[in-house]
Amino acid sequence: MKTTLQIKLIPDDTQRKALEDTMRVFNAACDVIADVAFREQCASKFVLQKLVYAHVRKQFGLSAQLTIRAIAKVVDAYKRDKSKQCVFKPTGAVVYDQRILSFKGLEAASILTLQGRLTVAMHMGDYQRLQFGRGHGQADLVRVDGVFYLLLVIETPTAPPIDPNGFIGVDLGIVQIACDSDGEAFSGETVENTRRRDHALRQSLQACGSRSARRHLQRIRRNEARFRRNQNHVLSKTLVAKAKDTGRGIKLEQLKHIRERTTVRKSDRAKHSGWSFFQLQSFIAYKAKREGVVVQYVDPRNTSRQCAACGHLDKANRKSQSRFQCVSCGHVANADQNAAINIAARANVNSPRVAHDDNNGWFECSHKPRPLGRGN
């Protein structure tokens, strides 16, 4: 499995300017290449190279290999969506390979710039030093909040897939970030309190509009993103460890386009838009793959309205955000745990049929998205 290792660079003032100039010129060259690619409707790296290579080298003064990497970056971006022309930010990533980037042990990197090769000091923590030997050879030079990093692709060993003896269903939400089918819940209170505090402060700073207020807004954005990412890392690690220790797999909801398919009250819009479910699911997926834990995705529709005991489906079953009481059999449970049990029992969305025991019958489940109400 390929993962990314983030390595901090510590350039001096001269090196910083050289890196910034190289990044700016590299992305300007990408814009010119993208214009040709879109005009010619060309997504072939070899054909595009014949069209632009000499011109780009002459106009921007890039080295031969940096020009090749710029062409490859444009082709990769253009292949994602051929209907529109790609535009690259001046601070976009610069793609390096082994010909134009090498490492001097664990202390420095030799990086090709417009001013030639520069040996730039690096800073790595214990984890980076341990994983560094698995480097794959390609790295992206990026600038985040004025700090330069190398994002190094590494080969991470994965365990062979475990044949699961069952599945842990995981219901994702906002009040409870996650609740599994064993009844363990992970409260979202801390995250929500942080979001409310930052939201109020953000409104005050936006009303002020001064330069220092804008800088403060950027700090808030970074701090909140780091906080959410850390919470999702901790939660995903806990779920994967539980699944591995019990020899089970994990079933998650297929939540693609969920924001377009759901409606919320106006007062809940900020909370809803700040829901980082995709990041959490992606963390669970790659951590599970590394540990050999099977992850499957299921259709989430009506998991909150269906009784996990008798299978009866009714909107009235969901009494409140936290309380579930079946109007048919009287089964009472925490609503999130009830949904998680239903998720654990459902078939993978990649299966041609979805098993659902409703009055001892089966039905075929189409996976076309449909509008969902607040109760789902």
pLDDT value at residue 321: 82
Q: Which residue has the higher pLDDT, 82 or 38?
A: 38
- Under the banding of pLDDT at 50, 70 and 90, the label for residue 271 is low
Mean pLDDT of 35-47: 91
pLDDT value at residue 266: 66
Residue 354 has pLDDT above 80, yes or no: no
Computed over every residue of the chain, the mean pLDDT equals 86
Do residue 135 and residue 179 come from a single domain? no
pLDDT value at residue 25: 97
Do residue 345 and residue 239 come from a single domain? yes
Residue 225 has pLDDT above 50, yes or no: yes
Domain that holds residue 11: 2-155
Residue 162 has pLDDT above 60, yes or no: yes
Residue 3 has pLDDT above 90, yes or no: no
Do residue 180 and residue 136 come from a single domain? no
pLDDT value at residue 351: 53
Residue 210 maps to a domain: no
Number of structural domains, the chain? 2
Q: Which residue has the higher pLDDT, 62 or 225?
A: 62
pLDDT value at residue 355: 36
Residue 207 maps to a domain: no
Do residue 109 and residue 89 come from a single domain? yes
Percentage of residues in the chain having pLDDT higher than 90: 54
> Could you tell me the two tokens for 60?
């921007």
pLDDT value at residue 200: 85
- Helix, strand, coil percentages (3-state) for the chain, rounded to 5, are 45, 20, 35
> Could you tell me the two tokens for 66?
């940096």
- Under the banding of pLDDT at 50, 70 and 90, the label for residue 124 is very high
Residue 358 has pLDDT above 80, yes or no: no
Percentage of residues in the chain having pLDDT higher than 70: 88
Residue 198 maps to a domain: no
Residue 282 has pLDDT above 60, yes or no: yes
Residue 61 has pLDDT above 60, yes or no: yes
Do residue 168 and residue 32 come from a single domain? no
Residue 36 has pLDDT above 80, yes or no: yes
Pairwise CA distance, residues 8 & 109, whole Å: 11
Picking from 155, 173, 204, the residue at the C-terminal end of a domain is 155
Residue 213 maps to a domain: no
Pairwise CA distance, residues 150 & 138, whole Å: 10
Q: Which residue has the higher pLDDT, 221 or 362?
A: 221
pLDDT value at residue 93: 95
Confirm if 150 and 104 have CB atoms less than 8 A apart: no
List C-alpha distances in Å: 245 to 177, 185, 248.
22, 18, 8
Sort residue 356 into left (φ over 0), alpha (ψ -120 to 50) or beta. Answer: beta
pLDDT value at residue 13: 95
Mean pLDDT of 47-63: 94
Mean pLDDT of 354-363: 34
Pairwise CA distance, residues 303 & 297, whole Å: 13
Do residue 112 and residue 15 come from a single domain? yes
- Under the banding of pLDDT at 50, 70 and 90, the label for residue 371 is very low
Cβ neighbours, 10 Å, residue 28: 17
Residue 222 maps to a domain: no
Do residue 284 and residue 177 come from a single domain? yes
Residue 106 has pLDDT above 80, yes or no: yes
Residue 200 maps to a domain: no
Residue 306 has pLDDT above 60, yes or no: yes
Residue 146 maps to a domain: yes
Confirm if 179 and 337 have CB atoms less than 8 A apart: yes
Q: What is the pTM of this model?
A: 0.73
Residue 226 has pLDDT above 90, yes or no: no
Do residue 112 and residue 172 come from a single domain? no
Pairwise CA distance, residues 247 & 244, whole Å: 5
Do residue 176 and residue 234 come from a single domain? yes
Residue 196 maps to a domain: no
Q: Which residue has the higher pLDDT, 271 or 64?
A: 64
CATH number at residue 284: 3.30.420
Cross-sheet strand order for the sheet of 147-155: 94-96, 135-144, 147-155, 2-10, 116-123, 108-113, 101-104
- The tens digit of pLDDT for each residue in 241-262 reads 999 999 999 999 988 777 666 6
Do residue 106 and residue 184 come from a single domain? no
Mean pLDDT of 79-86: 86
Do residue 125 and residue 248 come from a single domain? no
Do residue 180 and residue 149 come from a single domain? no
List C-alpha distances in Å: 220 to 29, 87, 168, 196, 224.
33, 28, 35, 12, 6
